[in-house]
Amino acid sequence: MSDLVDLADLVLSECQEPSAPTSSLWSYRRPIVLHPSPVQGRPAPSELSPPPFPRYGFGLAATENGDVYFFGNHGNHDSSLLYHYSAKDNTAAVLQCDGYDDPGPRSRHAMTIIGSNVLALHGGRVSKNGGAADPSLFLFNLVSRKWSKIPVAGSAPGSRQGHSMVAVGTTIFMFGGWSSQGQGHFDELWAFDLKTMYTQPRWELVTPSSTEKPSARSYFVLAPYQNQLILFGGYRGLHLADTWAFNTNTEKWSQFQCVGDVPSPRSCTAGVMLDDIMYVIGGYHEKELNDVFTLKISERRWLRVKGIEKVESRYEHAAARIGTKILVFGGRPDTLGDKKDMVAVLDTEHIDNRGLHTQERLMELDTDPDIKALSKVNRGSPRRLADLEEAEGKLEKRLAEFDRGKGELEKRFAELEGGKKELEERLAELEGGRGTLEKRFTELERGNEGRMRESSELKVGLAVLEGSEAELEKRLAEFDKDKEKLEKRFAEFEGGEGELEKKLTELERQMMRENSELERRLAELEKKSRELKHRDFIAAILDSLSKANSLTSLQGMDAQAMVDFLASVLESREHLRSDADRRHALHLLRKIARFAQVFPKQTELCGVQCNIADPINDIGSYGAIYKGVFEGHAVCVKAVRIDAGPSSGSAAKKIIRAQAGELALLAHVSHSNVIPLSGAYLSVERNPRICIVSPWMENGDLTDYLTKFPDTSRIPLMSDVAAGLQFLHDMGIVHADIKARNVLVSRSQRAMLADFGVSVVLNTTSSIAGVSGTTYWMAPELLISEEVPPPTPQSDIPPRTKAMTGQTPFLEHYKYPGQLIGAFVRGYVTPLRPKRNCLPTITDGGPLMTLAERCWNYEPSERPTAAEALRFLTELNVEDSRPSMGEELAMFEALKSKRTQVKIDYQYLLSVVRKVSFGCFVIGI
């Protein structure tokens, strides 16, 4: 248990405090094989490690610093050895291990790394037991080089293979796999927190908070992204191509509705994360694959990476992301040719798509790990730089004090040197005087013994001189001692000065690095400032336009410039401060487009093939319907239908305005249950007409579809309509003309709202065909009011339920619109009742009839909102077996991508704004 606690401490400490270029997309490395890396205290092996490749069906884990570890091999070749590969040096070596709990030879197990020092391995196919599966969890301490088989308490995942594990913080998450013991595929998500090793190691079966979750599968991609797990593809009897995300905070699964070039179904693929981009490489689906796809998670958009046609196909391989490069290891050797013993390297810097990663981010990711770690430490704040500058000032002041002290010491030292010289000269004089006295004493002793008294005095004088000499020698010794102390102190000062200069140099370097970081931050702030100014500039224009009273007079180039500007603002959400600004801009765009009868140039399509002289039918609310072709896809073309007659001039103008308004609205409405606008163009006629282009709906409208397929489940279609209405109402848009003919059914059997936002125009033009038919679909308040009230979100609710019957409501009891209106005025209307032998949900008293009666309440405020209706239908929990919309949505996006690019002339735009806003507001640049 102490080993387990050591492992937990190792991981937790890391989690608390983390610490030859080429010009082509692909390159290859053949690893340099080194001697096995021995355990400390053991002799180093004399032979080289076995070659690491070929290998497939193995487990792999990597650190951000370029250390890659892999274990196992389905081919039984070196399947019990743990290898270390250095991306920095391109070297591979076997790591010798300690202990007796090593996993043994195996393949198709799950493997991950927690922090940078603990490997985790689970399950797989054990080679030495005849291919039996193993349910054990193993942890490997890279510091002590020791494997530990973890004894767990309580329930635990059983034996499996083809599953995946990832680590988020100190928690290991494991999903899927299949059992060779007859249990089939698994859809369980298990979690193992290393903190439990302090008490009792334990697996936890995660119970999702969501009703939906991915189906059982094996051999899929599972990658960590922030606090989420991203899952793609796999196999469960057939290959899969769905994408899911699991939020580790809310424990909720959600399926991505992806757009773009969605990968084909596959299994045995490899995936890695680079910021918010998941790369998926190769795999298997009826044959080996060699493609590369990217998923931009924030946009739910797939993109196929181009320029890889000559790369070998791979499956049962593994990949790791180091910096900006993706390293691909192993795979079935029969597909790799002469590359089976090499590491393939995908350099993301050479992918030609700026929408994936900015150049600045790629440069940051490609930085050496040590420099990046230092940069992370230094990226504090401007306050940190101020502290460093203050410290530098203090050190410089202290250094100046040391310099002054050094000068004083040098001066004092010079004075002492002078005093020493004087003392030495005085000592020399005393030595000379002593010799003279001794000579004189000798003469006196020889010459006159009678003069003893003088001799005694001379002896006393000589003793005094000898005492003075001793005192001078003592003082000289003290002076030498003081000199030594001064020399030592002086040396210390010189050493301190050098240390201060060294620290000052380090501070200057650190300041240079932090100045560089501050300059980068300043550049980011300047960019944000420009964006804010641009946003304020746009807000000022919108405010100015809202006060203008001559917008409806804009025509020609002025109207076109304003419409193109508003369309570009709506296209880029970051230019608007709030949803209210977005609704306001949409209102202005629609208003100008209607009166000027122009449409945004950025919606213009070139190359639509359509015979305007041959309409499919004339049942459109105000336009004839044609079938055309664009980019090889069938499209629906709707052009204004103008009837000849005495009042056709006025009617035509209103119809054209209605169509221009619908086009302006559709251009900026994007939802899976609202018909998408592919674009628009002007017809090639003497009097050109605006033609709206949208995808062709093979299943027709709801009336045709329910007639053709009467046994169709209504609830999924009703949920589609409710979801579309909720989206429109959230945007402040009222459909105002919900009826079965205005609900189209897509190829994937989804209901999509069409022809919305024009009923006010239709109600004011009695000569337009089809208005009387619309009466049967209107809300009561729109029929019985003395004055025509504006449509509201509540008036969209009653016809939504009638649209699901496949019949014209009330027509069975009221053959003429006047009869229906009279019945509403009297306060009693015979409603449409369900037919015999209906489903239980539709019968009288059933949940759908309950919802319908609420929707038809005479009081609009008592009706449910679209969101409440959608929630009610969702809680019925009716099975929805319709096919995925992925391929269909990708086709919609592909058609929209062919629109014209427009550049805004802001100088000209300002002149138009000043023209319409004269006397109201002045915009300054």
3-state SS, one letter per residue, for 844-866: CCCHHHHHHHHHCCCCHHHCCCH
Which of the pair, 461 or 498, is modelled with greater confidence?
498
Give start-end residues of each CATH 2.120.10.80 domain in the chain.
Answer: 2-15+27-378
> What residues contact residue 404 under an 8 Å CB cut-off, 6+ apart?
none
Among candidate residues 568, 630, 579, the one with its CA nearest the CA of residue 603: 568
Beta strands at 301-304 and 259-260: parallel, antiparallel or unpaired:
parallel
Q: What single-letter DSSP state applies at residue 318?
A: E
The Cα–Cα gap between 328 and 323 comes to: 14
Residue 26 burial class via C-beta count within 10 angstroms: exposed 0-12, middle 13-18, buried 19 and up: middle
3-state SS, one letter per residue, for 536-604: HHHHHHHHHHHHCCCHHHCCHHHHHHHHHHHHHHHHCHHHCCCHHHHHHHHHHHHHHHHHHCCCCHHHE
Give start-end residues of each CATH 1.10.287.1700 domain in the chain.
Answer: 382-532
Residue 837 has φ and ψ, to the nearest 5°, of 60, 30
| Strand partners for 629 | 609, 634
Q: What is the CATH number of domain 2-15+27-378?
A: 2.120.10.80
Which of the pair, 804 or 235, is modelled with greater confidence?
235
Q: Could you tell me if 75 and 133 are in contact, meaning their C-beta atoms sit under 8 angstroms apart?
A: no
Of 381-390, 525-534, 641-650, which one has max mean pLDDT? 525-534
Confidence tier at 523 by pLDDT (50, 70, 90): confident
What architecture does CATH give domain 382-532? Answer: Orthogonal Bundle (1.10)
pLDDT at 742 over 50: yes
High-pLDDT (> 90) share of the chain, %: 29
Beta strands at 32-33 and 26-29: parallel, antiparallel or unpaired:
unpaired
> What residues contact residue 225 under an 8 Å CB cut-off, 6+ apart?
245, 273, 276, 278, 297
The predicted model gives 573-601 an average pLDDT of: 77
pLDDT tens column, 222-273:
999 999 999 999 999 999 999 999 999 999 999 999 999 999 999 999 999 9
pLDDT tens column, 754-803:
875 443 332 233 333 333 335 555 665 665 555 556 677 777 776 555 44
Superfamily of domain 601-901: Transferase(Phosphotransferase) domain 1 (1.10.510.10)
Q: For position 447, what pLDDT does the model report?
A: 62
Please report which residue ranges of 671-793 form alpha helices under DSSP H: 702-708, 714-730, 759-763, 771-775, 780-784
pLDDT tens column, 181-199:
777 899 999 999 988 887 8
Q: For position 191, what pLDDT does the model report?
A: 97
**Which 3 state secondary structure label does DSSP give 376?**
helix
The Cα–Cα gap between 668 and 288 comes to: 41
pLDDT at 48 over 70: yes
Give start-end residues of each CATH 1.10.510.10 domain in the chain.
Answer: 601-901
Residue 143 tokens read as 């510091």
pLDDT tens column, 843-874:
555 677 777 777 777 777 888 888 988 898 88
pLDDT at 292 over 60: yes
pLDDT at 409 over 60: yes
Q: Could you tell me if 387 and 393 are in contact, meaning their C-beta atoms sit under 8 angstroms apart?
A: no
pLDDT tens column, 304-328:
998 765 688 999 999 999 988 999 9
